[in-house]
Amino acid sequence: MTALVLDCDGVLADTERHGHLPAFNAAFREHGLPVCWDEQEYGRRLAIGGGKERLASLFADEDLVRAAGVPDDAEGRTALLQQWHRTKTARFTELVAQGLVPARPGVRRLVTAACEAGWTVAVASTSAEASVRAVLSQAVGPELAAGIPVFAGDVVPAKKPDPAIYLLAVQRLGLDPADTLVIEDSRNGLVAATAAGLACLITVSSYTARERFDEAVLVVNELGDPDRSPIRVLANRGAARPGDQLELDDLRACLRLPGSGGTT
């Protein structure tokens, strides 16, 4: 059975800029931390997979550790980290509920088409499950979202670019890797998907447009919708021949052997 597995952040919605960044900064304020990430600094932190892991990177700043009264022991730091992350997740889901985290073009249309065609559709993300489910519901609608499995957060011990989250999705859902397409927006996600033996389509996001996507079968600026400008194909190493927007046939073509006329 054909399967479509989507990342959350940057694929379902432009969550990093409009959701996670302001949520992190809100959590810093609430906990009295002398930290405020701007867009450039947050872009650097995105190289670290997972929200808890990005928060843990603050422990490398000795001045901040002293100012915030961070405990020396690992158990105390873990508890503090979980507290910070719970606050950040709560602020993020509030932003999503307020409609301040826009869904990306084409997501609802293609997910709906895949479900109607009998595909298995799932989401695999390094973000907290509560955050992912909130974004998914906003992006595709609560009714459709209710039937889509979500693999997220600490369900695996290692975050992307480790392939663990995709290997788990394949195993739990009984997927055939040869018939499974992943949609990602970042190099970390691409590396995770391909290391799991899965074909990957990239829809670049505001933070990832300059990353390398050499292993992707298809790279586009967005998935597209009828009321938008035609999509731009940034690289095509497969059999898809997209028009103004990606269609389900284009996703099917990403699972076929590469054609001779692709652009790179």
Nearest to 8 by CA among 50, 41, 39, 44: 50
- Alpha-carbon distance of 129 to 147, in angstroms, equals 15
Q: Which of 7, 162, 225, 250 is catalytic?
A: 7
Alpha helices in the chain (DSSP H): 15, 21-30, 39-45, 51-56, 62-68, 74-97, 107-116, 129-140, 142-145, 164-173, 187-195, 248-253
Q: Which of 9, 14, 162, 225 is catalytic?
A: 9
Task: Decide if 7 is catalytic.
Answer: yes
Query: What DSSP letter does each residue of 206-231 carry, written as one string?
Result: TTTTTS--TT-SEEES----TTSPPP
Determine the distance from the C-alpha atom of residue 233 to the mean position of all C-alpha atoms in its chain, rounded to a whole number. Answer: 20
Task: Decide if 9 is catalytic.
Answer: yes
Catalytic center residues: 7, 9
